[in-house]
Amino acid sequence: SEYIICIKATICGFTPELLHIHAGEIFQNGAVFADLTALLTGGGTTDGCVETTKEFYTMLVNDPDKFYLNAHVAPTPDSLFFQGIRGQLLQSFTSQLDAEASVAPFLGVHGSSGVSSIRFEAGGSIVCFDATIVGFDPEVAHLAYGVTGTNGNVVYDFSSLKVAPGRFFGCLSIEELGTTLAEVCEILADGYVYYFDFHQSDIPDSIYFFNTIRGQLPEVIPLSDII
């Protein structure tokens, strides 16, 4: 089997000559694990894929936050420092929210839209959320279990992260979410069976949640296929 990693990046302010993925956590330097220099297209942009080893691919999927992308100019023999920019890799899923994706007895509000993401840090022990909803102001923010066209049980409740009308942002530990690393691994392996659900507070004596918007997580390659 072939193991492929793909990258799309834009670097502003200078034009890099080298592009690598290094092993190393935040504020740490480490060895080069993948040379992506051939993907540089000029002007600080890159968009393409390279083949890598099964071992590195597995490490990257399991612990992306232990690697970083480093773009820099070529060092010179008489220079101790050289220009560069770096960014830590993170495991995340982004979903487009759509009121029309709501499933009865939930009702989506016409004209609403949004985007929501979930990101796992510190080896999966920290879960971060970032959501913006336009067209209504939900009070409840959930990640739930269920494929497209079905409703399911709530997995994570991140309603406490509301920072403004239609805006949820921040991070919670797995202890605060009442979850485990095993459950985090299940999401990483089968993200497409989970979805974001935002709605107003429960209405007493009603079977409906009005002003609802939903977005399915994208499908990822199961870890069982690469380990």
Q: What is the pLDDT of residues 74-132, one digit of tens each?
A: 877 776 667 788 887 777 888 999 989 988 878 788 889 999 999 887 767 889 999 99
Averaged pLDDT of the chain = 84
Contact 121, 129 (CB under 8 A): no
Query: What number of residues does the chain have?
Result: 227
Q: What's the token pair of residue 105?
A: 């007895």
Which amino acid is it at 194?
Answer: Y
Residue 226 has what pLDDT? 35
Opening angle at CA 215, ends 179 and 140, nearest 5: 60
Residue 224 has what pLDDT? 38
H helix intervals, the chain: 54-62, 174-177, 181-189
Three-state DSSP at 225 gives: helix
d(CA 158, CA 160): 5
Show pLDDT as tens, one digit a residue, over the chain (227 residues): 578 888 878 788 888 899 999 998 777 889 999 999 999 887 778 888 899 888 888 888 777 878 899 998 887 777 666 778 888 777 788 899 998 998 887 878 888 999 999 988 776 788 999 999 999 899 999 999 999 999 999 999 999 999 999 999 999 999 999 998 888 878 877 888 999 999 887 655 555 556 789 999 987 544 334 33
The model's pTM? 0.64
